[in-house]
Structure 1
Amino acid sequence: MSLNVVTLVGRVGGDPDVKYFESGSVVCNLTLAVNRQSKNNDQPDWFNLELWGKTAEVAANYVRKGSLIGITGSLKFDSWKDRNTGANRSKPVVRVERMELLGSKRDNEAEGSGGGGYQDEF
């Protein structure tokens, strides 16, 4: 048996980076800052998020820098070859399957959104 589940709640580090493809697919990339539960931790952990389909469109329309969101997804590693050095590189990315818009009603109204969960369609 194997299990690959990531659940995070945090604040978005920047406005969504959205790309539309000729095939009709849409992808949205975000960064998420998550505070670790410890007494002397003043630096958040940063996560790269990748959202597809309807979830990506919702993020593009309603998520902004500083938005509080909750996500569930799976961990994957993007790999590539560095153009300058030729070295193999990789980075962890959370492939988001479900996103919840969190925060106060005032926060959501300021961003023009309601709230609720959005799940990717596979």
Structure 2
Amino acid sequence: MSLNVVTLVGRVGGDPDVKYFESGAVKCRLTLAVDRRSRNQDQPDWFNLELWGKTAEVAANYVRKGKQIAVTGSLKLDYWQDRGSGAQRSSPVIVVNNLELLGSKRDDEANSHNQGEF
């Protein structure tokens, strides 16, 4: 038996990067900051998310930097060859199957007002 399921809850690190393809497909990339369950929470763990189709459209329309979301998906590794050194590189990506928007409308309004204060 094999199982590849990832569930994360965190805050979005930046506005969605959305691409529309001639085929009609939609792809969205996000970063997600997730706090670790430990006493020494100095820095969050950062995850790269990839969303497709209707899920990508929802993210494009409703998700912004700082928004709290929950995602369920699977882990994949993207591979490429480094242009400078020619070395094989890889990066983990969470392919999202389910996206839940968390927090209240008040949280969203507070985030939008705080955006200009940085």
Q: TM-score, normalised by structure 2?
A: 0.90
Runs ≥4 residues deviating over 3 A: 108-111
1:31-70 equivalences under 5 Å are 31-70=31-70
Which residue of structure 1 aligns with residue 24 of structure 2? 24
- Cα distance, 1:28 vs structure 2: 0.2
Task: Write the letter of the residue equivalent to 2:104.
Answer: S
- Cα distance, 1:109 vs structure 2: 5.8
- Cα distance, 1:84 vs structure 2: 1.3
2:31 match: secondary structure: strand
Output one character per residue of 1:52-78: Cα deviation in whole Å (capped at 9) or x when no partner: 000000100110000000000000000
Which residue of structure 1 aligns with residue 106 of structure 2? 106
Aligned-pair identity (%): 77
- Cα distance, 1:40 vs structure 2: 1.2
- Cα distance, 1:83 vs structure 2: 1.1
Which residue of structure 2 aligns with residue 15 of structure 1? 15
How many pairs were matched up? 112
Task: Write the letter of the residue equivalent to 2:96.
Answer: V
Structure 2 gap segments, 5+ residues each = 112-118
- Cα distance, 1:105 vs structure 2: 2.7
